Structure 1
Amino acid sequence: MENDDFNAIPAQIKKWIPLQNKGKYSDTYSSLEIKELNNPDIAYKSIRHRLLDVNNWAHYATLTNAEFILLDNNGKNLEGLAAEGCFMKVRFYRLQKIISARHDFVLVKSIITVPDIFGDAVVMQLIPAHNPAKPGSEIEHFFTAEASNTLVLYRDAVKIHLSVHGRNELPNFKVTKTAKKIRNMVFAVLGILAVSKVQWKSLAHGLLNYNEKLL
């Protein structure tokens, strides 16, 4: 079924999703029926705004109890909507009892607007990154720099679609401390098998359905 979902993404949007070359991958899909909305145009604009409003993602991704904080290139908290070049730090509180759960960092590599007949589509790509508040370029994430997560929002005549596509997910062992290597191995395994999938599914569902009855 997921292959059918992926093939259904319009070609002009799908081309922005990286190719899978190595490691693990995941595809998570969620959608909202247009007929369930009082005003589809307003609903779509609201969902697009929520997608870029990273600081409030925790309100929508409720299943993983995760924290998402938008940062500038100096590592300082940033208000407003995400933009290319911003950083994010992410923390999964429910994993603290398993192993150290310090923040992981990602870079908002790109935010692409794709013209569409029903409303501009948005493609936002996140990649593992260093901590912008610290010197050096060591990746502070349990996946390597080659990994990515691409969030895709678009609309057709029937549904509003939101999907997340993880690509080239490999554990990050290119770190200086042995404790980090062990931690990243555990996080990478958990991320591949469970946490990432649940996190993105929870976020996609929440972004689409939050207060939808008011729209």
Structure 2
Amino acid sequence: MKAKKIPGIPLQVKGQFHDTESIQKFDNAQETELKYNILKERFFDINKWGTYSKENIAEFTLCDSTAKSVDRLPIIGDYIKILLSEVQNPERNNYQWVRIDMIDKTNPNSIMIQCRPSKLPGDQFAGNTVHFHSGGTTSTFIISKGNDYIKMAIYGRNEKPNQNTDVISSIKNMFIAFKGVVGSSKIQWKLLTDGMISFK
């Protein structure tokens, strides 16, 4: 299976990829519009993303360029700090960091947020990428609507283990990335996309 070619999403060149999509259909355009507006509120409230999954897959925290957590709409240059749910008693190096490189709201029927693994905020010219994937990986989050449906999708491209770190972290990153290859991260993303468009 090949990665889907979608405008605004980087081409798949090397490593792994995933196309994770969830769709909810409705009886009419009015209900669709109502639910899409709710979805937009959820989409921009990144700090609550983890609460929409039926299982606690991860904790998401929106941070500014200094790594300070913030409770507002995301902007380009912000960061998302991610703690996987399987981590117990987390330490500083257990968190994964991604930077928001793009937010596209030009299409009235869709919104896109694109992120990539990053170094610690405020330390862009020193240190290592703090994520189990390499800096060439992208994750693109998209919500969209049609006349009778809303959709939440996450597209991962060029996913490779982050080897730009110490030996122990490199081994850990390879293990986590391998778990993604065999399906666990795909399932986790699906839990998130399903939860975001669920209104029960």
TM-score, length-scaled by structure 2 = 0.88
The amino acid that maps onto 1:151 is F
Over residues 91-142 of structure 1, what are the superposed CA-to-partner deviations in whole Å (9 max), with x where a residue is unaligned? Answer: 1122559xx97000001111101324xxx31011111011116572410000
Following superposition, the deviation at residue 37 of structure 1 comes to 8.7
Query: Is 1:81 equivalent to 2:73 in the alignment?
Result: yes
**Which ranges of structure 2 fall in alignment gaps of 5 or more residues?**
none
Higher mean Cα deviation, 160-169 or 192-201?
A: 192-201
Following superposition, the deviation at residue 6 of structure 1 comes to 4.7
CA distance in 2, matches of 1:180, 1:79: 30
Q: Secondary structure at the match of 1:41?
A: helix
User: In structure 2, which of residues 166, 182, 190 is the aligned counterpart of residue 193 of structure 1?
Assistant: 182
In structure 1, the partner of 2:84 is: 92
CA distance in 2, matches of 1:34, 1:138: 46
Q: Contact 2:32–2:147 (CA<8 Å) still a contact in 1? A: no
- Residues 37, 196 of structure 1: alpha-carbon distance in 2 compared, 3 angstrom cutoff: farther
CA distance in 2, matches of 1:6, 1:168: 13
Q: Contact 2:32–2:148 (CA<8 Å) still a contact in 1? A: no
In structure 1, the partner of 2:154 is: 164
Point out 4+ residue stretches in structure 1 off by more than 3 angstroms. Answer: none
Query: Is 1:144 equivalent to 2:144 in the alignment?
Result: no
CA distance in 2, matches of 1:101, 1:115: 38
Higher mean Cα deviation, 198-207 or 130-139?
A: 130-139
Q: Contact 1:150–1:166 (CA<8 Å) still a contact in 2? A: yes
Query: Is 1:48 equivalent to 2:40 in the alignment?
Result: yes
In structure 1, the partner of 2:143 is: 153
Following superposition, the deviation at residue 153 of structure 1 comes to 1.1
CA distance in 2, matches of 1:89, 1:173: 20
TM-score, length-scaled by structure 1 = 0.82
Q: Contact 1:147–1:167 (CA<8 Å) still a contact in 2? A: yes
Aligned length: 197
Query: 1 or 2, which has the higher helix percentage?
Result: 1
User: In structure 2, which of residues 20, 37, 53 is the aligned counterpart of residue 28 of structure 1?
Assistant: 20
CA distance in 2, matches of 1:81, 1:186: 34
Q: Contact 1:154–1:160 (CA<8 Å) still a contact in 2? A: yes
CA distance in 1, matches of 2:132, 2:184: 12
CA distance in 2, matches of 1:145, 1:178: 17
**Which ranges of structure 1 fall in alignment gaps of 5 or more residues?**
8-13
Over residues 137-195 of structure 1, what are the superposed CA-to-partner deviations in whole Å (9 max), with x where a residue is unaligned? Answer: 410000101101111111112211111111000001011x2111111111111123233
Instruction: Provide the identity percentage.
Output: 27
Q: What aligned pairs does 1:201-212 form with structure 2 within 5 A after superposition?
A: 201-209=190-198, 212=199
Q: What aligned pairs does 1:3-42 form with structure 2 within 5 A after superposition?
A: 6=4, 14-35=6-27, 39-42=31-34
Q: Secondary structure at the match of 1:35?
A: coil
The amino acid that maps onto 1:124 is I
